[in-house]
Amino acid sequence: MVRVREMSRAEFLGRYWDYRAGEHVTFLGPTGRGKTTLAYQLLDATATEELPAITLVMKPRDRTVSKWDRRMKSRVVRSWPPVKKPWDNPPRSYTVWPKHSFTDIRADNDRMAQVFFSAITDSYRRGNRILFADELYGLCNELSLQPEIVALYTRGRSMGTGIWGASQRPSHIPLWAYSQASHVFMHRDPDRRARDRYAEIGGVDPDLVKRITANLPAFHYLYICQHGPYMCVIRAD
The pLDDT value recorded for residue 1 is: 47
pLDDT in the model for residue 2: 56
Q: Which residue ranges in the chain fall short of pLDDT 50?
A: 1
Query: How high is the pLDDT of residue 101?
Result: 95
Span 42-75, pLDDT tens digits: 999 999 999 999 999 999 999 999 999 999 999 9
The count of other CB atoms within 10 Å of the CB of residue 133 is: 28
pLDDT on residue 124: 95
> At CA 190, angle to CA 187 and CA 195, rounded to 5?
70
**End-to-end CA gap in the chain:** 26
**pLDDT at site 199:** 66
- Give me the pLDDT at residue 209, please: 85
Q: Give the residue among 223, 199, 197, 209 at the shortest CA–CA distance from 39.
A: 223
